[in-house]
Amino acid sequence: GDSVVQTEGQVLPSEGDSLIVNCSYETTQYPSLFWYVQYPGEGPQLHLKAMKANDKGRNKGFEAMYRKETTSFHLEKDSVQESDSAVYFCAPSNQAGTALIFGKGTTLSVSS
């Protein structure tokens, strides 16, 4: 079945540090790729997306490149801020648009 693996647990950078959160997926069909962000007590929000190979999703300084050859969609940022602290989920979805498959989530806690 379809699956996704992302950096697990907590990531604890300081403000100004660079960030990479890994995401690797395995799907039977050609997926669209999403990163969602969730703040405490809220539902996930769409953070960025890439619909096909070599597309780059961008939002608020974050980027993720759709790499079909390595089946990856790593989330990157050059300089994190304390306000970026949240839980991030990588979520592929096949082109037919069935339910998203969520990774286990990565908790980003940025210290000032």
Partner 1 sequence: GAVVSQHPSRVICKSGTSVKIECRSLDFQATTMFWYRQFPKQSLMLMATSNEGSKATYEQGVEKDKFLINHASLTLSTLTVTSAHPEDSSFYICSARVEGQGRYEQYFGPGTRLTVT
Which CB atom, from 80 or from 100, has the smaller least distance to partner 1?
100
- Strands 31-38 and 45-50, by their bridges, are antiparallel
Give CB contacts under 8 A, 24+ apart, made by 60-67. Answer: 60/84, 62/35, 64/23, 64/33, 64/35, 66/33
Task: Tell me, residue by residue from 22 to 41, as one string, x for binding to partner 1 by CB under 8 A and - for no binding.
Answer: ----------x-x-x----x
Q: Around Cβ 41, how many Cβ atoms within 10 Å?
A: 5
DSSP H or E stretch at residue 2: none
Please state the closest distance from residue 103 (CB atom) to partner 1, in A: 7
Task: Tell me, residue by residue from 52 to 91, as one string, x for binding to partner 1 by CB under 8 A and - for no binding.
Answer: -------------------------------------x--
Q: Which residues bind partner 1 (CB under 8 A)?
A: 32, 34, 36, 41-46, 49, 51, 89, 93, 95-100, 102-105
